[in-house]
Chain A
């Protein structure tokens, strides 16, 4: 780097102009190449993020004859006195608090199960991954059917307990609706994080395991002292991605329960879409989006801090 920047100064004036021309051409070409992506990112990401901040303090509606006016903190005072918002916030956190450890843990178990050099192991990796490739809309519709009072899940429960136990109307009961959605979401997403863990597992040098074996370490000790520390950076990634995905819970709710029964499954994103799109209240939805943004940002920063590289 230093030799390259120092080189032109030692050259004769004629050469220098030529290099400067090449330099300028390089800069212009680079700028031209980066422009389409940069413009698109500004128009469809930077501007809307900035708008989420700006619109939250106005009375903008999706389709309105009058231009948006500045209304100060009105949307926020309205939001913080809205009981549905607190329910959304509570449900979103409830979902995340259960899903993050459940999905991350189960994904790690799956990854350890398929990290063996056994014949046919690729088959299992493929099968565990199938739900990830299936769209959440399809998964939600399918499980809506499976969760019916007379559906497949209850039929299996009844068969396994020899008819002694009758399952609930999973999605129709406020007590079971969210757990049912949690179970289904983990079923759909766990394969994705299994692959991430697996990639992490394969970066751990085999010599470490051999050394541990020579020292007579048990399976648990090998996991505790070799595998777990070796997965440090993978762990951060898995936790951050699951948490952000969990906070963004929307599709399942929209397709399966519409937030019900009795708002037991309303989430922040679902409420934002309902007010912003169904009721066309753009500004109010922008305020919800802003709170959501702050929530996601805080949690991922806290997670990054807690799982940072120590020593």
Chain B
């Protein structure tokens, strides 16, 4: 009897908490289909969280008229996916060399990589802005190529600084070490080179690690705000998160803001729910290193 009560009590607690976490997001999505008048009118009652009243896609069409939202979306998709793909290649290669091959300097590199893990991006973001502004850049000027300096306002400045990642290297390293080394020896006997071992043996066995690194690279790239805010000025290079804050400053209606927010959030949430298990496992495994 008491255990049943306890279980019911536990469930009641879980349900109340679930409402606390879900309702603001439900409110966002529901409001994106309502007029501003109705959003405010519904605030005092449960209808704030229900798709009731005159629902329409007006906020979505108005938003696309107001800002180049499609362009912002395309930019974010481009930047995030290139960062993920390059990140997987570059970091897994380095981790492979560190985990499975013998060379002098290996220990030093590994220790240095792990040491950089505790440096938060915010501590060097501003010197980095100054620094990328000094880097050489090959620019297309009419039909000519010319060298200038300053990476401001480019795609690469939004991608390259986030490709190499100490955590990804560390994570791949741990995973690669768990794969039996005998496989390498057997492959070398058969005349395979190290790159073949990487590409044909180790990487195909590392699906879960690749998925984890992909998730943990994609999410911050998609959600990034501080960096693009500082290095991107032109509208056509803006990613979604910077796009929304400019949008916010235009003083448009809340319905349109909710529409934009839903547009850049709901697909990610849907992906998360679909791949929930591997997603949560990958986050959980980040805690293992403690």
Contact = CB atoms under 8 A, between A and B. Distances in A.
B278 interface: no
Interface in B241-289: 241, 244-245, 248, 254, 257-258, 261, 264-265, 268-269, 272-273, 276, 280, 283-289
A192 interface: yes
Interface string A159-189: 1000000000000000000000000000100
B97 interface: yes
Contacts of A133: 219, 268-269, 272
Highest count of chain B CB atoms <10 Å: which of A51, A134, A151, A240: A134
Contacts of B7: 118
Contact of B90 (A36, A198, A199, A296): A36
Nearest to A290: B123
A118 B121 CA distance: 40
Highest count of chain A CB atoms <10 Å: which of B43, B161, B264: B43
B21 A49 contact: no
Contacts of B193: 29
Contact of A135 (B109, B122, B164, B241): B241
A46 B123 CA distance: 12
A100 to B, nearest CB: 15
A233 to B, nearest CB: 4
Interface stretch (A9-17, A77-85, A248-256): A248-256
B21 A128 contact: yes
A262 interface: no
A6 interface: no
Contact of A138 (B120, B244, B273): B244
B155 interface: no
A127 B122 CA distance: 29
Contacts of B268: 133-134
A177 to B, nearest CB: 18
A37 B169 contact: yes
A294 to B, nearest CB: 9
Contact of A286 (B21, B127, B287): B127
B149 to A, nearest CB: 11
Nearest to B283: A195
B246 to A, nearest CB: 11
A289 B25 contact: no
Contacts of A235: 290
B43 A38 contact: no
Given A118-B11, A150-B40, A33 B198 contact: yes
A227 interface: no
Contacts of B207: none
Given A48-B131, A128-B18, 17 more contacts: A30-B101, A33-B94, A34-B109, A36-B94, A45-B164, A48-B124, A49-B124, A118-B11, A135-B222, A155-B43, A192-B283, A196-B284, A199-B288, A236-B290, A238-B287, A248-B122, A251-B226
- Which 4 pairs, one residue from A and one from B, show the smallest C-beta to C-beta distance? A237-B290, A40-B164, A37-B94, A199-B284
Interface of A: 23, 26-27, 29-31, 33-34, 36-41, 44-49, 51-52, 55, 60, 62-63, 110, 113-114, 116, 118, 122-131, 133-138, 141-143, 145-146, 150-152, 155, 158-159, 187, 191-192, 195-196, 198-200, 233-238, 240, 244, 247-248, 250-251, 254-255, 269, 272-273, 276-277, 282, 285-286, 288-289, 292-293, 296-297, 300
16 contacts: A33-B96, A37-B94, A37-B164, A40-B90, A52-B127, A62-B129, A110-B17, A130-B25, A133-B219, A135-B222, A233-B290, A244-B118, A277-B129, A286-B126, A288-B126, A297-B118
